[in-house]
């Protein structure tokens, strides 16, 4: 049942564009109240637990909904990964095909404290604090009973999506009917910044290639000018190997940069999802590193077995491409 006091407000909100809805709710839902005891959780509460990943590079909030309490403690409903599924997310079954995110979450009911989520005494652990999101009275769209009933209807769902159907979108839908994630926008911004930093690093590396080549040419001139034939026999193969390594790294960096740019354009053009973009980014970097390592290893091997720089480089290129594709497609 929709609360009569909020009908006109939500009619206005629903007429807004999705971005405007996000900005409005982000502004309205900033206030938080710390939860110090499990007894502080009440039916209908919108609760969050802070967390981080990638060495605190990405901060996030796990959203869950309290549906009541009993003698054991508060009962909650949320989209949650079991420990086994979390391990699958960190180590996907196939590097080539990426992670099946939608299979890694399930809307489930849980009683707190819980060994796999919040243990006794962990409510205000630094970096894992639990808080209540304060909803202004004028934004309360449904009664507590209706919110709980809506949450129970979602139990058992297994259609998780990193940005479009996550823990927050479920709670928001239960409370106001909008399938919206307010933390997805900061997450996308963080990922884009990380991607931009990576591209800048590659570009800075490419800018050093002319300098490296100039130094190699100078070394070659010195080596060729030496009169000792023994020194020449050592210097020229080393020169060939250095040039081969520099060219390999430059080519792989350019190829990876182009592939990342293409994947980014597809994501921004909504041809692929953020989830798919991340999968492609991981695959591109993995293949570039594998091919580079294989090529350089092949060059070294080729020069030892067959001391001809060109042939060594050719063998290295073949080994690099083969090892890169094997590493990218072999199941773990």
Q: Report how far apart the first and last C-alpha atoms of the chain are (Å, whole number).
A: 50
Q: pTM for this one? A: 0.56
Cβ pair 151, 159 in contact under 8 A: no
**Overall residue count recorded for the chain in this entry:** 332
| Cα 247 from Cα 219, distance rounded (Å) | 17
**Does residue 47 contact residue 132 with C-beta atoms inside 8 Å?**
yes
How far, in Å, CA of 327 to CA of 320, rounded?
A: 10
Q: What is the pLDDT of residue 90?
A: 45
pLDDT of residue 207: 54
pLDDT at 174: 96
pLDDT of residue 109: 95
Distances in whole angstroms, Cα of residue 110 to Cα of each of 40, 63, 170, 172: 17, 13, 15, 18
238/236 Cα distance (integer angstroms): 5
Given a contact cutoff of 8 angstroms between Cβ atoms, the answer to whether 101 and 165 are in contact is no
Question: What does the pLDDT profile of the chain (332 residues) look like in tens digits?
Answer: 667 677 889 999 999 998 899 889 989 999 999 999 999 999 999 999 988 765 566 678 899 999 999 899 999 999 987 655 555 544 444 433 334 444 568 899 999 999 889 988 888 888 889 999 999 999 999 999 999 999 999 999 988 887 788 899 999 999 999 998 887 655 555 554 544 444 454 455 555 555 555 555 555 555 555 544 444 444 555 656 676 677 777 877 888 888 888 888 887 777 777 767 887 787 788 777 766 666 666 666 655 555 555 555 555 556 555 555 554 444 33
| Residues 133, 29 contacting (CB under 8 angstroms) | yes
Q: What is the pLDDT of residue 143?
A: 93
pLDDT value at position 228?
47
Q: What does the pLDDT read at residue 305?
A: 57
Helix, strand, coil share (%) of the chain residues, nearest 5: 60, 15, 25
């Amino acid at each position: 049942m929709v609360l009569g006091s909020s009908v006109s407000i939500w009619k206005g909100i629903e007429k807004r564009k999705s971005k405007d809805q996000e900005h409005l709710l982000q502004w309205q839902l900033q206030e938080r109240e710390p939860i110090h005891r499990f007894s502080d959780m009440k039916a209908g509460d919108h609760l969050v637990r802070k967390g981080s990943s990638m060495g605190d590079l990405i901060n996030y909030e796990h959203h869950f909904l309290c549906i009541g309490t009993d003698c054991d403690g508060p009962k909650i409903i949320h989209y949650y990964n079991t420990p086994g599924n979390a391990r699958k997310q960190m180590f996907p079954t196939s590097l080539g095909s990426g992670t099946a995110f939608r299979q890694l979450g399930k809307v489930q009911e849980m009683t707190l404290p819980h060994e796999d989520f919040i243990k006794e005494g962990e409510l205000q652990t630094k970096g894992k604090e639990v808080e209540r999101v304060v909803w202004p009275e004028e934004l309360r769209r449904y009664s507590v009973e209706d919110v709980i009933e809506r949450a129970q209807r979602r139990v058992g769902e297994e259609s998780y999506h990193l940005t479009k159907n996550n823990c927050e979108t479920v709670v928001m839908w239960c409370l106001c009917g909008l399938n919206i994630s307010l933390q997805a926008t900061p997450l996308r911004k963080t990922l884009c910044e990380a991607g931009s930093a990576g591209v800048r690093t590659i570009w800075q590396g490419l800018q050093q290639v002319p300098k490296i080549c100039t130094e190699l040419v100078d070394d070659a001139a010195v080596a060729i000018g030496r009169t000792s034939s023994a020194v020449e026999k050592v210097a020229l193969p080393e020169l060939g190997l250095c040039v081969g390594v520099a060219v390999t790294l430059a080519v792989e960096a350019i190829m990876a940069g182009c592939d990342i740019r293409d994947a980014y354009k597809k994501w921004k053009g909504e041809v692929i999802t953020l989830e798919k973009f991340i999968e492609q980014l991981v695959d591109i970097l993995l293949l570039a590193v594998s091919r580079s390592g294989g090529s350089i290893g092949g060059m070294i091997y080729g020069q030892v077995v067959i001391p001809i720089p060109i042939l060594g480089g050719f063998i290295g290129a073949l080994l690099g491409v083969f090892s890169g594709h094997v590493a990218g497609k072999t199941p773990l």
